[in-house]
Amino acid sequence: MDYFHLSATPDQLAALSNLGLAHLGDGVYELMVRSYLCLEGRSTNKGLHRAAVGYVSAAAQAAAVRTVLPLLTPEEAEVFRRGRNASPHTVPPHARREDYAAATALEALFGWLWLRGETGRLNQLFATIMEETQWP
C-alpha cells in the first residue's frame, strides 16, 4: 500500500471512528503547518516548534474553522459535523471545550480528505486558512 497516495473506499471511511479520523487529520494538519513554516521562512529553527504550536492549538484551529466552514461541500460539512460531535474522554486544561470540538472537527475533515486522496482539496482549504485566519 502507498500511504502517501491513498484512495480509501466509502466503506473503509465509514468504518473509521470520528476520533480516528481526527487522530489522522491532526498529523496531516501539523505536517502541513510545519511545511508552511519551513518553506515560507516564517520562523527560525529555534522558534519553529513554538510557531507550529501557535498554529495547531485548539484556539487557532477553531479560528481556522470560521474561515473554511462556509467553503465546505455538503459531504465535507457532514464529516465536519461528525468530528465536532465526537466525544473525547478529556479536553486539555488549556483549551475551551467549544474550541476543542471545532479543532477535532477540522482534524477529522483533514483526515477524511487525506484518506480519500484529495490532496488538492486539502491544499485549497489549507491555503485559505493560512491567508485569511487571524493568527494569535
For the record, the C-alpha cell of 123 comes out as 491544499
What element of type H or E holds 122?
helix 119-132
Domain ranges of the chain: 10-132
Could you give the residue numbers annotated as active site?
26
Helical axes 74-84 vs 18-39, angle rounded to 10°: 110
Candidates 96, 136, 132, 111; CA nearest to 32 is 111
What digits encode the pLDDT tens for the residues 51-73?
888 899 999 999 999 999 999 99
What digits encode the pLDDT tens for the residues 79-121?
999 998 887 767 777 778 888 899 999 999 999 999 999 999 9
Nearest-5° Cα angle at 116, 25 to 24: 20
CATH architecture of 10-132: Orthogonal Bundle (1.10)
